[in-house]
Each structure stands twice: as structure tokens, then as C-alpha cells.
Amino acid sequence: MSDPATMRTAPSGSASYQVVARRYRPQTLDDLVGQEHVVAALRNAIRLNRITHAYLFTGTRGVGKTSMARIFAKCLNCEIGPTDKPCNKCDTCLAISVGQDVDVIEIDGASNTGVDSVRELRANVGLRPSRSRFKIYYIDEVHMLSTGAFNALLKTLEEPPEHVKFFFATTESHKIPITVLSRCQRFDFAGITPEKIVETLDSICHQEAVEVEKDALWTVARRAGGSMRDAQSLLERLLTHSEGRLSDDQAREILGLASDDRMLDLLESAAAHDLASLLEQVESAMAVGVQPGDLVSGVLELLRDAMVQSAGSKGPLMAVGSRQKPRLEALAESWGMDSILAAMQIMAETKTRMKGNPQGRLLAELGLARVARLDRLTDLSDIIARIKTGGVPGPETKAAIPASQRAGAITRQSITAAPSARDSVAADSGEHRREPLRPAVIKRVATSLVEEPEPALEIPAAAPNQNGFLDRPDFEKIQIRWDEFVGKIGMRLGTVVAGYPPKSYSPTGEMVCEVPLAFDKMAEQFTLPENLSKIESASRSIWGKPLSLRVVVTDKAESVAKNESDKESRWFAVEQEPMIRTLVDMFQARRFWIDQD
């Protein structure tokens, strides 16, 4: 790094002491870190004499926009220039380096936003430079100019005098009118990688004669977020606390950051679903001055590194050093990509909610608790594939989802509903069979549910008819087991005739049902050969005799379903559908209802 006379370290105790960020500001194109693409373009422009009249430098804070503007100005106005290697010794170069050259006018766009400032600029544009080759106007934070100021600048910007150059810098290029953007040559400055920041900080520490652990420099680089100026400011803060040597633990204590090991301990507790240990880790981090926002940001960065490791990427790690990398790899392997992504989403949402909220610690603990409650997730595509093939999850899938949190594990309250009329009929007939669950209209949300495992729904086949059960048209006995018949013929047929038992029965074994006009199209299914076979098979199973079923569509049809509980046959028909049974088996689903008070 170049060391011009104006940038040398001031004596200890001197009133002219300069901070690290100013003392080690880049002075040549070679000194700029992380902006090689911009440097290459400007070098070629100088060498080929293709220097345009307006340049826009855009990028996040502290990546070298102002430094680039000053260096480029020196390249154009140096006594030996135009050159891509200014001497940094002539009066022009030295004056530009400290922002005091009369022909390089630096304007703060944030404090000179009005039309009057631009009018004054336009009035002076026509005047030739005092001693230099070009008169250069550098406007920082140019996006802060008002609409009127931009409009006043347009004509001059489009056709300036040959001796005038405009340099603009901004962190928010989207706020600049397109009419201005189209008149500038734009250069986007990239964020500086942690590796390059560490290399630069290490050089500064060597020149300052301070021994700093490499891990401490990595901590500063990660905290800087791609900004070299932020990294240098943080280093300045550390150097004021050091006595010739600085460790990573000291750096984290000074900056109020949790150590890598502490953050890994916290995330390992979350991955192990150990909420008590996780909350203790949060308390210990707060006790040493770690702020809730920094804690959440640290967890997010650590999860990002875990995602990189789980994906098998060779990308750089942002949150941990080489010493902690094996622990991170083990964590990523045991937790799995789906859980890592879910945890990242939770913590990102937590960070958003914490902005401006005084309950930062509470929200941080809430987010971490939700992460600790995550279990290994099953890929949705696997579930869809099993549903399509009619399969059920294997042991490995069931083991990955605890019973208490399985997607389909539904609990229910004990049932106290009064028996329906059909229950009484079944009891009077002396038949003993397991009644399927009946849904009821939910009037109130229960405050707690008690888990009661429910055995799988099973309906025993009817015993062969020994007494000529249907030798006579006994519709009452048909209705007793009508629901079972509806369940046997499947959902598509059963939903049509569930509430409409036969109105007549012929000696030839034909049952006739009347259904409303709404079932006009669906009634046609009862004439298909495969459905005729299904009806005969179901009737033989229920009544011991193959019967046929004719469905008549009429506007005089009346349903026997008087209330919600009398519609059990429809539920039963749905539950007997193969696809529904597959879903029930896969997700361990159970119907449930809540009784009224």
C-alpha cells in the first residue's frame, strides 16, 4: 500500500492524528481492493484515450467509490498524466488526495439537494480549470438530489464543455432518474470478500506493529459485511484496546459478539431439540454483552454456512473459522438440508420482526425455541410419489417424524354425543358391530386436546344370510345396513346414494333409488360395467345376495339425512376410497370432532 507524505502516521498525542480508514486510504489504482473489474476498465479508458464526460460509481458503503473518484481524478490531472499510474508527489496529486484541489470540486449531494446548488454549478462549468487539465465535479450520494436539481443538471450533463468531467457516487442507484443514468458510464462496485479484507487488515496491523490473531481479523471481516471502511473502523476500535497483542476472544468481547464455539453450542442445542440448554446458551451470551440482534444475525450466518456444507458447496464460510469447520460439517450432516432451510426461514422472519421492537430478546428466544422444536422434515416430493403409487411410508420415513409432530397425527376429545336413531335401530336388531366416527358441527374451539390413539377403521363382512333376509321387500332391514353398503361401493358412487336409500325393491333383486337433479351427471356412473360388478359384490358381502341398483333422477327425491350426524355414510364412503386410505395410512390421520357443552 502506498504511503504518501500526507498519509503518514501522526506522532502519538498529535492533534492531527488520523484514523486508520483515512491513514490507509488507497492512493493508486493498484491499492484498490476487490474492484479489479472497475480498475481494468478505467485503465483501458486512459490508455486508449476514451475518457467520457460522466461516470457513475454505485455500490454499498465503504467499498472504494470516493477513493476511486479521487484516484481517477489524479490519473487525469497528474502533471505526468493522463496516466493510470499517478505520481502522488506533485502538488495536484497531493491536493486531490486530501480533497482540497481547486479544480476537483467535491459536493455532498445529501446537503446540496436543491435547484439553486445545481444552478451555481452550471454557472461555474463554463470557467476553465485554474491549473489542471480538467475541472472535475464529484457529487457524492447523488441520489439525494431533488427532481428539480436533476432536471437542471440534464442539459449540462449531456453536453458539458470539453474541460469538464462529472463523477457521481451513490449507494442507491435505483433512485436516480433514468434520464441521468443514460448519460453516464456506470460502474458497479462489488462487496469485498472476507479473504481480501483479512489480507488488508493484516498488512495494516503489521505496519502498526500490533500482533493480532488471524481469527480476530476474520471476526472483524465477517462483521464488516463486505465494507473495507467498516472493517478498518472496527480495527481502529480494537487497536485502542490492545497493548501490542490482540486475541480473538478479546476482539469478540470488545465488539460484543458471541464466540464461534458459543454459537455452535447454541445451534447444536437447537439441533438436538434441547430447549433448556439453548435458553441457557442465550442467557450466557447476553451476560457478556451480546445484543439480541447480533445473536440472531450470528445464528443466520451460521445456518448459511451449514447450508453450504450440507449442499457440498466449496463456497467460502462466513461465520466460522477453520478450527470450527469440523463441528459445522457434523452439524450439517446430522440435521439435514430441509431442517436447515426451515431454521433459516424462521430466523430470517425473527430478524425482520425485531426491527424497531423493544422486546428483542423475547423475539430472539421465541425464534430459537421454534428452531429447537423442528424435527427432521420429509421431502414433499417423496410423499407425493408414494401417494401416486398408492404406497405407504417406509420405516425410515416414519422414524424421521415423531408421532407427536407427525403431519397427520390428530388427537380428539372424548365423545359424549347422544346416540343417533340409527344407533338405536342397530341395537334393537341385536347386531354388534363397530360404528364409524360421526362428525359434528364444531361450535367452539377446544383449549386442549388429549391424545387417544384410535384403532384402524375396520368393518367386518356380514355373515352369509341364513334366513332369506331379502326374500321379501323389507326396506327397514335394507336401511339398517345401507351405510355399510354405501361404504363398500366407494366414494364416487356412495356420495350419490348415501342419503337416498331405495324407494322400492323388485323380486328380481333390483333396488331403486331416487336422487335429486343435482346428481344428474353422476348418476350415469351406475350404468358402467365395472360399477355394476362393484354393486353386486358389495351387496353380496352385506346381505349375502347379489343385487342390482337403479338410480332415478327426479326433482321429488328426498334425503333421509336430517342432521350432520346422519351423514355418516358419506364419511364412511370417503374413508373406503383407496387413495384416501393411502393418505390415512401415510399420515396416521384420524377424524376428530369436538362436542358442544
Q: What pLDDT is recorded for position 212?
A: 84
Compute the distance between CA of residue 379 and CA of residue 400 in angstroms, rounded to an integer: 11
Phi, psi of 165 (to 5 degrees): -130, 140
Rounded to 5°, angle at Cα 23 from 21 and 24: 70
Q: What pLDDT is recorded for position 497?
A: 85
Most confident by average pLDDT, 77-81, 425-429, 457-461: 77-81
Percentage of residues in the chain with pLDDT exceeding 70?
A: 74
pLDDT(420) > 50:
no
Average pLDDT value over all residues in the chain? 76
pLDDT(450) > 60:
no
Tell me what the mean pLDDT of segment 566-593 comes to: 64
Strand partners, 138: 106, 167
Query: What residues does CATH 3.40.50.300 cover in the chain?
Result: 20-188
The set of cell numbers assigned to 99 is: 480533497
For the domain made up of 260-372, give the CATH fold.
Answer: Zinc Finger, Delta Prime; domain 3 (1.20.272)
Pick the more confident residue, 83 or 7: 83
| Amino acid sitting at position 41 | A
User: What count of other Cβ atoms lies within 10 Å of the Cβ of residue 596?
Assistant: 10
Chain-centre distance for alpha carbon 475: 61
Phi, psi of 474 (to 5 degrees): -100, 90
| 142 closest CA partner among 186, 194, 99, 101 | 186
Question: 528 Cβ partners below 8 Å, 6+ apart?
Answer: none
Q: Which residue carries 364412511 as its cell? A: 572
Compute the distance between CA of residue 484 and CA of residue 426 in angstroms, rounded to an integer: 12
What's the start-to-end Cα distance of the chain, in Å?
A: 81
Q: What pLDDT band is residue 322 in, cutting at 50, 70 and 90?
A: low
pLDDT(434) > 90:
no
**Domain 20-188 maps to which CATH number in 2.60.120.260, 3.40.640.10, 3.40.50.300, 1.20.1260.10?**
3.40.50.300
Q: What pLDDT is recorded for position 110?
A: 81
pLDDT(402) > 80:
no
pLDDT(13) > 70:
no
pTM of the model: 0.57
Tell me what the mean pLDDT of segment 348-358 comes to: 88
Could you list the beta-strand ranges (E) of 293-446.
Answer: none
pLDDT(453) > 50:
no
Q: Which region among 143-147, 164-168, 345-349, 557-561 has the lowest average model confidence (pLDDT)?
A: 557-561
pLDDT(535) > 80:
yes
Q: What pLDDT is recorded for position 397?
A: 46
Strand 164-170 and strand 54-58: the pairing is parallel
Question: 334 Cβ partners below 8 Å, 6+ apart?
Answer: 271
CB 96 within 8 A of CB 129: no
Give the three-state DSSP class for 576. coil
Most confident by average pLDDT, 285-289, 347-351, 591-595: 347-351
pLDDT(582) > 80:
no
CATH, range 194-255: 1.10.8.60
Query: What residues does CATH 1.20.272.10 cover in the chain?
Result: 260-372
pLDDT(377) > 50:
yes
CB 200 within 8 A of CB 234: no
Q: What pLDDT is recorded for position 358?
A: 86
Q: What pLDDT is recorded for position 293?
A: 87
Q: What pLDDT band is residue 44 in, cutting at 50, 70 and 90?
A: very high
Task: Report pLDDT digits (tens) over 95-113.
Answer: 988 888 888 988 888 887 7
pLDDT(56) > 90:
yes
Give the three-state DSSP class for 136. strand
Q: What pLDDT is recorded for position 449?
A: 35
Q: What pLDDT is recorded for position 381?
A: 62
Task: Report pLDDT digits (tens) over 490-518.
Answer: 878 888 888 888 888 777 778 888 888 88
Could you list the beta-strand ranges (E) of 213-296.
Answer: 245-246
pLDDT(418) > 70:
no
Tell me what the mean pLDDT of segment 207-225 comes to: 83
Q: What pLDDT is recorded for position 590?
A: 67
Query: What residues does CATH 1.10.8.60 cover in the chain?
Result: 194-255
